[in-house]
Amino acid sequence: MRKYIVMGAQGSGKGTQAKLLAEAFDLVHICVGDILRWNIQHHTKLGARAKRSVTAGELVPDELVSEVVRTRLEQHDWNYGFVLDGFPRDRTQAEFFLESYDIDAVILLEVPDMVVLDRVLSRRLCANCGLDFNLIHHRPVRPDTCDVCGGKLVTRPDDTLQAVRDRLADYHRQTLPILELFRRKELVVVADGTRPESQVQAEIRQSLGLSSPIPA
Protein backbone atom coordinates (compact mmCIF):
# COMPACT_ATOMS: atom_id res chain seq x y z
CA MET A 1 0.00 0.00 0.00
CA ARG A 2 1.40 3.38 -1.01
CA LYS A 3 -0.08 6.69 0.07
CA TYR A 4 1.31 9.88 -1.30
CA ILE A 5 0.49 13.58 -1.31
CA VAL A 6 1.68 15.80 -4.17
CA MET A 7 2.16 19.46 -3.31
CA GLY A 8 3.19 22.44 -5.40
CA ALA A 9 1.85 25.77 -6.61
CA GLN A 10 -0.75 25.74 -9.37
CA GLY A 11 0.91 24.97 -12.69
CA SER A 12 3.76 23.14 -10.98
CA GLY A 13 2.71 19.91 -12.68
CA LYS A 14 1.04 18.35 -9.62
CA GLY A 15 -1.77 16.84 -11.63
CA THR A 16 0.50 15.48 -14.36
CA GLN A 17 2.99 13.93 -11.95
CA ALA A 18 0.28 12.50 -9.70
CA LYS A 19 -1.41 10.93 -12.73
CA LEU A 20 1.81 9.39 -14.07
CA LEU A 21 2.64 7.92 -10.68
CA ALA A 22 -0.88 6.62 -10.16
CA GLU A 23 -1.05 4.98 -13.60
CA ALA A 24 2.32 3.28 -13.25
CA PHE A 25 1.75 1.90 -9.76
CA ASP A 26 -1.99 1.23 -9.89
CA LEU A 27 -2.79 3.92 -7.37
CA VAL A 28 -6.00 5.95 -7.28
CA HIS A 29 -5.41 9.58 -8.30
CA ILE A 30 -7.56 11.86 -6.16
CA CYS A 31 -7.60 15.45 -7.42
CA VAL A 32 -9.67 17.67 -5.17
CA GLY A 33 -9.85 20.48 -7.75
CA ASP A 34 -11.24 18.05 -10.37
CA ILE A 35 -13.85 16.72 -7.93
CA LEU A 36 -14.95 20.29 -7.15
CA ARG A 37 -15.04 21.27 -10.84
CA TRP A 38 -17.07 18.15 -11.70
CA ASN A 39 -19.60 19.03 -9.02
CA ILE A 40 -19.84 22.63 -10.23
CA GLN A 41 -20.31 21.50 -13.83
CA HIS A 42 -23.02 19.03 -12.81
CA HIS A 43 -24.82 21.52 -10.56
CA THR A 44 -24.71 19.35 -7.45
CA LYS A 45 -25.33 20.74 -3.95
CA LEU A 46 -21.61 20.47 -3.24
CA GLY A 47 -20.87 22.30 -6.49
CA ALA A 48 -23.18 25.13 -5.48
CA ARG A 49 -21.36 25.47 -2.14
CA ALA A 50 -17.90 25.48 -3.76
CA LYS A 51 -18.61 27.54 -6.88
CA ARG A 52 -18.01 31.07 -5.62
CA SER A 53 -14.61 30.25 -4.07
CA VAL A 54 -13.39 28.15 -6.99
CA THR A 55 -14.37 30.79 -9.55
CA ALA A 56 -12.61 33.49 -7.56
CA GLY A 57 -9.51 31.31 -7.18
CA GLU A 58 -9.96 31.28 -3.40
CA LEU A 59 -9.64 28.29 -1.13
CA VAL A 60 -12.91 26.46 -0.51
CA PRO A 61 -13.82 26.20 3.22
CA ASP A 62 -11.87 23.51 5.05
CA GLU A 63 -14.94 21.55 6.24
CA LEU A 64 -16.13 21.22 2.65
CA VAL A 65 -12.88 19.95 1.15
CA SER A 66 -12.15 17.71 4.13
CA GLU A 67 -15.57 16.17 3.60
CA VAL A 68 -14.82 15.69 -0.12
CA VAL A 69 -11.58 13.89 0.71
CA ARG A 70 -13.09 11.78 3.48
CA THR A 71 -16.02 10.68 1.29
CA ARG A 72 -13.68 9.86 -1.60
CA LEU A 73 -11.32 7.82 0.55
CA GLU A 74 -14.25 5.98 2.16
CA GLN A 75 -14.96 4.40 -1.21
CA HIS A 76 -11.97 2.15 -0.45
CA ASP A 77 -11.28 1.46 -4.11
CA TRP A 78 -7.57 2.12 -3.54
CA ASN A 79 -6.25 -1.43 -3.11
CA TYR A 80 -2.67 -0.43 -3.89
CA GLY A 81 -2.92 3.07 -2.44
CA PHE A 82 -3.59 6.63 -3.58
CA VAL A 83 -1.99 9.86 -4.73
CA LEU A 84 -3.69 12.91 -3.29
CA ASP A 85 -3.32 16.00 -5.45
CA GLY A 86 -4.28 19.48 -4.18
CA PHE A 87 -4.91 18.49 -0.57
CA PRO A 88 -4.00 19.45 2.12
CA ARG A 89 -3.59 23.14 1.36
CA ASP A 90 -3.56 24.63 4.84
CA ARG A 91 -2.83 23.64 8.43
CA THR A 92 -6.42 22.69 9.35
CA GLN A 93 -6.62 20.32 6.38
CA ALA A 94 -3.19 18.85 7.13
CA GLU A 95 -4.10 18.22 10.76
CA PHE A 96 -7.45 16.67 9.80
CA PHE A 97 -5.66 14.41 7.36
CA LEU A 98 -2.87 13.33 9.69
CA GLU A 99 -5.41 12.46 12.40
CA SER A 100 -7.18 10.01 10.13
CA TYR A 101 -4.57 8.66 7.70
CA ASP A 102 -0.90 7.86 7.65
CA ILE A 103 1.08 8.60 4.52
CA ASP A 104 4.33 7.39 3.01
CA ALA A 105 5.58 10.64 1.49
CA VAL A 106 4.79 14.18 0.48
CA ILE A 107 6.17 15.04 -2.96
CA LEU A 108 6.92 18.74 -3.28
CA LEU A 109 7.26 20.15 -6.81
CA GLU A 110 9.37 23.29 -6.74
CA VAL A 111 8.74 25.90 -9.46
CA PRO A 112 9.61 29.64 -9.27
CA ASP A 113 6.63 32.02 -9.16
CA MET A 114 7.44 33.58 -12.56
CA VAL A 115 7.30 30.17 -14.22
CA VAL A 116 4.02 29.45 -12.45
CA LEU A 117 2.49 32.66 -13.83
CA ASP A 118 3.66 31.88 -17.37
CA ARG A 119 2.41 28.33 -17.23
CA VAL A 120 -0.97 29.02 -15.70
CA LEU A 121 -1.81 31.89 -18.01
CA SER A 122 -1.10 29.68 -21.02
CA ARG A 123 -3.14 26.76 -19.67
CA ARG A 124 -6.21 25.62 -21.65
CA LEU A 125 -8.73 22.93 -20.84
CA CYS A 126 -10.99 20.97 -23.17
CA ALA A 127 -14.57 21.96 -22.30
CA ASN A 128 -15.73 18.53 -23.45
CA CYS A 129 -13.28 15.89 -22.14
CA GLY A 130 -11.28 17.90 -19.61
CA LEU A 131 -7.86 17.24 -21.20
CA ASP A 132 -5.19 19.82 -20.31
CA PHE A 133 -3.25 21.79 -22.92
CA ASN A 134 -0.61 24.46 -22.60
CA LEU A 135 0.11 27.04 -25.28
CA ILE A 136 3.83 26.91 -24.42
CA HIS A 137 4.60 23.21 -24.00
CA HIS A 138 1.62 21.25 -25.19
CA ARG A 139 -0.01 23.15 -28.04
CA PRO A 140 -3.09 21.69 -29.71
CA VAL A 141 -2.62 20.80 -33.39
CA ARG A 142 -5.56 23.05 -34.38
CA PRO A 143 -5.96 26.30 -32.44
CA ASP A 144 -8.53 26.19 -29.61
CA THR A 145 -9.47 22.60 -30.46
CA CYS A 146 -8.87 19.43 -28.43
CA ASP A 147 -6.59 16.95 -30.25
CA VAL A 148 -8.45 14.00 -28.77
CA CYS A 149 -12.18 14.76 -28.94
CA GLY A 150 -12.37 17.95 -31.04
CA GLY A 151 -13.94 19.85 -28.12
CA LYS A 152 -13.41 23.59 -27.66
CA LEU A 153 -10.42 24.63 -25.55
CA VAL A 154 -11.25 27.16 -22.87
CA THR A 155 -9.43 29.03 -20.12
CA ARG A 156 -10.33 27.99 -16.60
CA PRO A 157 -12.37 30.84 -15.07
CA ASP A 158 -9.93 30.94 -12.14
CA ASP A 159 -6.87 31.36 -14.39
CA THR A 160 -6.95 35.16 -14.63
CA LEU A 161 -3.82 37.12 -13.70
CA GLN A 162 -5.35 38.42 -10.46
CA ALA A 163 -6.68 35.00 -9.42
CA VAL A 164 -3.32 33.35 -10.15
CA ARG A 165 -1.51 35.98 -8.08
CA ASP A 166 -3.98 35.50 -5.22
CA ARG A 167 -3.56 31.74 -5.33
CA LEU A 168 0.22 32.08 -5.31
CA ALA A 169 -0.01 34.33 -2.26
CA ASP A 170 -2.27 31.74 -0.55
CA TYR A 171 0.21 29.04 -1.46
CA HIS A 172 3.11 30.87 0.19
CA ARG A 173 1.10 31.96 3.21
CA GLN A 174 -1.01 28.88 3.91
CA THR A 175 0.25 25.84 2.06
CA LEU A 176 4.05 25.95 2.21
CA PRO A 177 4.16 26.34 6.00
CA ILE A 178 2.38 22.98 6.50
CA LEU A 179 5.38 21.22 4.99
CA GLU A 180 6.96 21.68 8.39
CA LEU A 181 4.44 19.20 9.85
CA PHE A 182 5.51 16.60 7.31
CA ARG A 183 9.22 17.45 7.46
CA ARG A 184 9.23 16.64 11.16
CA LYS A 185 8.19 13.13 10.19
CA GLU A 186 10.83 13.01 7.45
CA LEU A 187 8.17 12.48 4.83
CA VAL A 188 9.04 15.18 2.29
CA VAL A 189 10.79 14.57 -1.03
CA VAL A 190 11.51 17.54 -3.31
CA ALA A 191 11.60 17.50 -7.11
CA ASP A 192 12.54 20.29 -9.53
CA GLY A 193 9.26 20.96 -11.32
CA THR A 194 10.84 23.10 -14.06
CA ARG A 195 12.33 20.06 -15.80
CA PRO A 196 10.56 18.03 -18.52
CA GLU A 197 7.68 15.84 -17.27
CA SER A 198 9.45 12.52 -17.70
CA GLN A 199 12.55 13.72 -15.85
CA VAL A 200 10.49 15.04 -12.96
CA GLN A 201 8.72 11.69 -12.78
CA ALA A 202 12.02 9.80 -12.81
CA GLU A 203 13.37 12.01 -10.03
CA ILE A 204 10.24 11.40 -7.92
CA ARG A 205 10.40 7.64 -8.39
CA GLN A 206 14.06 7.58 -7.51
CA SER A 207 13.49 9.60 -4.33
CA LEU A 208 10.63 7.30 -3.33
CA GLY A 209 12.65 4.18 -4.08
CA LEU A 210 10.15 3.10 -6.72
CA SER A 211 12.32 1.54 -9.35
CA SER A 212 9.80 -0.34 -11.45
CA PRO A 213 6.01 -0.42 -11.72
CA ILE A 214 4.06 -3.27 -10.16
CA PRO A 215 3.97 -6.14 -12.72
CA ALA A 216 0.54 -6.65 -14.30
The one segment of 54-62, 121-129, 138-146, 184-192 that binds ligand AMP by CB under 6 A = 54-62
65 near ligand AMP, judged by CB under 6 A: yes
* Of 18, 20, 22, 36, the one binding ligand AMP by CB under 6 A: 36
* Of 5, 40, 60, 126, the one binding ligand AMP by CB under 6 A: 60
| DSSP H/E element including 183 | helix 179-183
Distance CA 193, CA 197 (A): 8
Catalytic one among 89, 119, 124, 205? 89
The residues facing 82 across adjacent strands are 3, 28
Cα→Cα distances 196→13, 185, 202, 212, Å: 10, 29, 10, 20
Give exposure, 76-114, as e/b (b: 16+ Cβ within 10 Å).
eebeebbbbbbbbbbebbbebbbeeeebebbbbbebeee
Question: How far apart are CB 198 and ligand AMP at their closest, in Å?
Answer: 22
8 near ligand AMP, judged by CB under 6 A: no
54 near ligand AMP, judged by CB under 6 A: yes
- Contact 92/62 with Cβ under 8 angstroms? yes
Backbone angles phi, psi at 91, to 5 degrees: -65, -40
* Of 58, 95, 132, 197, the one binding ligand AMP by CB under 6 A: 58
Residue closer to ligand AMP by CB (options 45, 215) is 45
* Residue 89 known to be catalytic: yes
Question: How far apart are CB 96 and ligand AMP at their closest, in Å?
Answer: 11
Longest Cα separation, the chain: 48
Enzyme catalytic residues: 14, 89, 123, 156, 167
- Interface ranges with ligand AMP (CB under 6 A): 10, 32-33, 36, 53-54, 57-60, 65, 86-87, 89, 93, 158, 167
